Amino acid sequence: MNYFSFFRDYLQYRLKAKDEYSIHSPYMFDFFTKGLKAKMSNKAFKELKRSSKATRGDLSCLQSRLRHKNNVFVARISAYFKPKRILIISDWENNTSLYLSTVLPQSDIVQLGRMATMDSVENVSNFDFIYLDIEENSEQTKARIDELIPYCNPNAILVFGNTATNNQFKEIWTRFQEDERFKVTADFFLCKVIFLTQNPMKKQHYCLLTK
């Protein structure tokens, strides 16, 4: 992990990031205020804390805290949208599925490694929520998203996790913001999110502060 690059990027993010008072879209305002800023139940929070301590492995203290914050953020998003089918594609043993199952025990969660194909999934349709935590170059990431889009519901959420420490992701994120298929994109520093909303709206990009 390049700490200089990380803290430089974080400073740039803080200078650009806005709070709810800069959000004019009702869709995003409700998500930000009722989802990201909503209090998590004390029971769920304590369980996620235990999950974080159990999965530190050989990570540094900072890396462990960042992954925990990343997973809590993903859990908050999923708790707000309440997806029924979740697909996780990850290179890492970061326990994201445990975080998601804590807040959404009734959801169907499918987890794949980077090298796995969609052929290994019994029912590949109707994913409401896709979480990716993989280090690939921009062309590989674009190809993967192009492959996954047909399996998503029209209003699905695509979440890219731990992007603050993934230098390969910066170029493709700029391309995703320009992609006409994606009406709403949002940068939360640790995570980047694409909302496949079908609402008739102009392209919108947000850089928003989180807890």
Quote the CA–CA distance of 7 and 89 in Å, as a whole number: 27
Residue 89: give its domain's CATH number: 3.40.50
Say how far apart CA 127 and CA 208 lie, in whole Å.
Answer: 25
- Quick one: 102 exposed, middle or buried, by C-beta within 10 A (0-12, 13-18, 19+)? buried
Distance from C-alpha of 84 to C-alpha of 100, rounded to nearest angstrom = 11
pTM check: above 0.75: yes
* Structural domain that includes position 130: 3-207
The token duo for 154 is 């029209």
Tally of domains within the chain: 1
Contact (Cβ atoms closer than 8 angstroms) between residue 94 and residue 55: yes
* Averages of pLDDT over each 10 residues, the chain, 211 residues: 83 91 87 81 63 56 81 89 92 76 89 80 83 88 91 93 84 90 92 84 86 66
Residue 78: closest CA among 169, 156, 190, 187: 156
- Residue 88's identity, in one-letter code, is I
Position 80 scores a pLDDT of 92
Q: For residue 16, what are the CA distances in angstroms to 12, 99, 191, 207, 208?
A: 6, 29, 15, 7, 8
Which pLDDT belongs to residue 25?
85
Which pLDDT score, from 0 to 100, does residue 114 have?
Answer: 77
